[in-house]
Structure 1
């Protein structure tokens, strides 16, 4: 079962809500706007991708 790690929404835009999702050995960040980050082996890097997306 895939685990999800929610990242807070951007303060000035409720349209974005990013989370990390595990798929097999990889973790990736997804956003409600349709953006998707690259598959990463490190959860911390996927979280950083999500934070970077939310910040602009």
Structure 2
């Protein structure tokens, strides 16, 4: 499950909890497992990165 533009929820039963974070002109995805996606200009691309990580 992806949360947009907020803090990630605690990891429950090995499930990855992702969120997107704004950093200046860029947005990146991050996960409670410690994974961070690349900085993207498009929020939708950062969200896609998060979905791929969580389900990949």
Please state which band the TM-score falls in when normalised by the shorter chain.
Answer: 0.7 to 0.9
Could you list the structure 1 runs, at least 4 aligned residues long, displaced by more than 4 angstroms after superposition: none
Q: Give the superposed CA RMSD.
A: 2.3
TM-score (ref. length: structure 1): 0.75
Higher relative strand content? 1
TM-score (ref. length: structure 2): 0.75
Which consecutive residues of structure 2, in runs of 5 or more, have no partner in the other structure?
none
State the aligned residue count: 49
Which consecutive residues of structure 1, in runs of 5 or more, have no partner in the other structure?
none
